[in-house]
Amino acid sequence: MTSTTGTPADADRALKARHRSMWASGDYPKLAADLLPELGDVLVRACGVTGGHRVLDIAAGSGNVAITAARTGASVVASDLTPELFDAGRALAAAEGVELEWREADAEALPFADGEFDVVLSAIGVMFAPHHQAAADELVRVCKPGGRIGIISWTPEGFIGQLFATMKPYAPPPPPGASPPPLWGREDHVLGLLGDRVTDVTTERRTLTVDHFDRPEDFRDYFKDVYGPTIAVYRSLAEEPERAADLDAALLDLARRFDRGHGSTVLDWEYLLLTATKRREQVPSPR
């Protein structure tokens, strides 16, 4: 009998196709513009990006970080597994009068040469690659020796980390070998991924204050309509209305627990900001 089991490469391609479809659903460019605009400036400033630098933004989405870096005069490549997001990014860049390159790319297998970039950045991006060590290895590989690395990731304890924890019981099980995205927001985890290949490491937990929503219900409904991972979970519950209603209640409870507003909803979203320098001497991967 001939086996119908696919190869690991087939499974990985299928997984990446699902990820691409998930992020293409909803309207991530709207979410980035509404809720995350300041993160690009935070990361670009933290890494000291200036004109003359060659910069890669990994999992760039619609270019929140990449466009900010391009404003400095740097030569910027925005890469993402989901090129459906690029049209919105190109429109934003054109409106600001900046130019950059847009490249479809898997964060775990980047189509760039070793040491090609002076600065490698990712804000709320590389953390969603399912195989953390592979993504970290690529991030370090394409950075030149002595170059800068900057990463922003949601923490497990923060609001978005808890959003994923809230959705987990309702979502299909993750594929074998995939790691939870918010682990990138733990200092010990990300330092273990980078290993001794970097030096001058700084980590800082910061807070993004989100006051876009009038009520906790507005947060829940917005994420159901706009945010790919939330949309994917609800789609998996299409034949289970009672569980979908339970998830509605759980997301509402999450927003109420974090809400510190008076008269309108104010949410603090904790993230980890990490910057580092790639060592000039070669150091093996921590695998």
For residue 74, what pLDDT band results from cuts at 50, 70 and 90? very high
40-62 tens-digit pLDDT: 999 999 999 999 999 999 999 99
What is the DSSP annotation of 26-75? S-HHHHHHHH-HHHHHHHHHHTT--TT-EEEETT-TTTHHHHHHHHTT-E
Average pLDDT over residues 255-270: 96
Could you please state the CATH topology (level 3) that the domain comprising 12-212+267-278 is classified under.
Rossmann fold (3.40.50)
pLDDT (0 to 100) of residue 11: 86
pLDDT by residue (tens digit) across 159-192? 999 999 999 999 999 888 899 999 999 999 999 9
Maximum CA extent, the chain: 66
Each domain of the chain, given as residue ranges in start order, spans: 12-212+267-278
**pLDDT score recorded for residue 4:** 42
Question: Average per-residue pLDDT in the chain?
Answer: 95
Specify whether the CB–CB gap between 72 and 47 falls below 8 A. no
Q: Count of CB atoms within 10 A of residue 240's CB? A: 12
The gap between the terminal CA atoms of the chain, to the nearest Å, is 37
